[in-house]
Amino acid sequence: MTFSIVARQGDAHGIAVASKFLAVGAVVPGARLGVGAVATQSFARVAYLDELLGRLAAGEPADEALAAATALDEGRETRQVGVVGVGSAATFTGSECNVWAGGVARDEGDTAYAIQGNILTGPEVVEEMERAWHATAGQPLARRLLAALVAGDAAGGDSRGRQAAAMYAVEPGAGYDACGVLADLRVDDHADPVTELGRLLSDWEMYFGKPEDVEPLEGDLAEEVRERLAHAGFSDADVATALADWAGNANYEARLSPDGIDRRVLEALRATTSR
């Protein structure tokens, strides 16, 4: 009933999942900073999340942790699980999972992934997700997770249809107040949940992402920014102070930089103000 990707890139770990199942993000994903990530699905056993993350934290490789956890579960043949640790990846599909069901896991050094799904239209869903993961090498983890989910959805996804999608990812220093949450997004009930998840990810990046492509507030750019802020009701002798006031009002304070103006903040300012 679900397809997911669990992955690591550098110090970041995360999961993206979609399903014809209400609020799938409340059940499937789990991740822990510096430890790994887990997806439990197909008659999901939510206890696997803490169990497997605990085993990974204790130093067990993903394949050993998964084998040990499933061996203790009498319902394992109905389950599907993906696990990625600091240096390993593993996937499990029980023999009683509804067809089509299967998965793939790879550890590629700086990156690793486990992709799995059940009640899918066919193996092409997993194949296209894996292809999308490799095609987006070099992009941030959250973007690669989304690309894999989009590819799986386009390939057919859940054979019963669409309903929910989610993403949960962690990385040291990421997120609001550097809390370590790289992405925490859920689309609980939607006609096109994967597309909606992509929209939410863009907003998340805007609100909680770090400054990028910063330009100094000098010359013509400083004058443009000053005029736009004044038209929006934010005037100050110091353009950086006026910008901070406007950005705080718009909840863009995470993207403020002492070196100038962030590219996406500038785009938002231009889109919402006049000169």
Q: Are residues 38 and 161 in the same domain?
A: yes
Q: Are residues 249 and 178 in the same domain?
A: no
d(C-alpha 126, C-alpha 59), whole Å: 28
Q: Report if residue 213 sits inside a domain.
A: no
Domain encompassing residue 95:
2-208
CB atoms within 10 A of CB 268: 17
Q: Which residues pair with residue 102 across a beta bridge?
A: 117
Q: Are residues 30 and 120 in the same domain?
A: yes
Q: Are residues 176 and 227 in the same domain?
A: no
pLDDT score recorded for residue 187: 98
CB atoms within 10 A of CB 56: 26
Of the candidates 250, 217, 219, 221, the one whose C-alpha atom is nearest the C-alpha of residue 233 is: 250
- The CATH number for 6's domain is 3.60.20.10
Q: Supply the pTM of this predicted model.
A: 0.94
Q: Are residues 153 and 178 in the same domain?
A: yes
Q: Report if residue 214 sits inside a domain.
A: no
pLDDT score recorded for residue 193: 98
pLDDT mean values, one per 10 residues, the chain (275 residues): 94 98 98 98 98 98 97 97 95 97 96 98 98 98 98 95 98 94 98 98 95 96 96 92 96 95 96 90
Q: Are residues 196 and 117 in the same domain?
A: yes
Give the tens place of pLDDT for each residue, 42-89. Answer: 999 999 999 999 999 999 999 999 999 999 999 999 999 999 999 899
Of the candidates 129, 108, 131, the one whose C-alpha atom is nearest the C-alpha of residue 117 is: 129
In angstroms, how far is CA 247 from the centroid of its own chain? 25
pLDDT score recorded for residue 237: 85
Q: Are residues 267 and 193 in the same domain?
A: no
Q: Mention every residue, 6+ apart, whose C-beta is less than 8 A from residue 230.
A: 242
Q: Classify residue 271 as exposed, middle or buried by CB count within 10 Å of its CB (0-12, 13-18, 19+).
A: exposed
Of the candidates 23, 25, 40, the one whose C-alpha atom is nearest the C-alpha of residue 75 is: 40
Total of domains in the chain:
2
Q: Are residues 197 and 236 in the same domain?
A: no
